[in-house]
Amino acid sequence: MTRHVVLQKRLVSKAKKAKEGLHKAEVSLDIARLAYHTAIGEIAAAGGSVREIGRELGLSHQRVHQILEVLSCDFCAAPRRDADAMVAGGVGGHICDLCIDLAVRVFASSSRESDGRTTLRLLSAGDSSTCTFCKCKQSTRKRSINARRIVAHKQNRICNECVELCEEIVAEERAKRG
Ligand SMILES: [Zn+2]
Ligand SMILES: [Zn+2]
């Protein structure tokens, strides 16, 4: 093995480690944001007004309102309190644990699936809409096993990579609660 190849291997494994670290940090950030928004939702559910919450946390009441408004699932409209877990995307989107499970089923069957609460469908291969959670489009190489596919409910969309991340977050949430 030449010195050059050894060096490259070391750099690649360093980059892979860094990528893993970034991924973990992103998951932690999502969990922290979820915990924060959930706590605000709990104060509101206990009767706290938007103005009171804003004053206590140093937020404008518009911001509190915005946080409370998005605390429902984009795919089934379940409010936060009815879901075991709700994942908030970094750039937008909210999905509850039940819709995450349903999305997994849609990707597995490659067709429309319903669980009695809501229906999710797979976007057709040529559809160039983006994932609400990560803003990525579907892969055009649909035969590849790493292809990005998107499921949708009305205007709300989530891709298989975001669903995988959501599954990890929900598993961590469940583990924390015991
Ligand atoms: Zn849902
Ligand atoms: Zn995505």
Residue 79 CA: which ligand is closest? Answer: 1
Do both 129 and 139 map to the same domain? yes
**Are residues 80 and 44 located together in one domain of the fold?**
no
Look up tokens 């060096």; give the residue.
7
4 and 89 housed in the same domain: no
Same domain, 49 and 126: no
Q: Are residues 168 and 137 in the same domain?
A: yes
Ligand nearest to the CA of 102: 1
What global pTM score does this model have?
0.66
Q: Which of 22, 45, 71 is the last residue of a domain?
A: 71
**pLDDT the model gives residue 92:** 74
Q: Are 142 and 125 in contact (CB under 8 A)?
A: yes
- Ligand number nearest to the C-alpha of 77: 1
User: What's phi and psi for 137, nearest 5 deg?
Assistant: -95, 170
On whether both 103 and 163 belong to a single domain, the answer is yes
* Domain end residue (candidates: 41, 71, 101): 71
DSSP string over 49-103: -HHHHHHHHT--HHHHHHHHHT-B-TTT--BGGGSS-EEE-SSS-EEEHHHHHHH
| C-alpha of residue 172 to centroid of ligand 2, in Å | 19
Structural domain that includes position 119: 72-178
Q: Output the average pLDDT for the chain.
A: 85
The Å distance, Cα 39 to ligand 2 centre, comes to: 25
- Confidence category of residue 43, pLDDT binned at 50, 70, 90: confident
Q: Looking at the 3D structure of the chain, how many domains does it have? A: 2
Q: Each residue of 18-27: pLDDT tens digit?
A: 999 998 898 8
In contact, 153 and 118? CB cutoff 8 Å: yes
Last residue of a domain, one of 71, 87, 122: 71
What digits encode the pLDDT tens for the residues 146-156? Answer: 789 999 999 99
125 contact partners, CB below 8 Å, separation of at least 6: 138, 142
Q: How far apart are CA 34 and CA 152, in angstroms?
A: 22
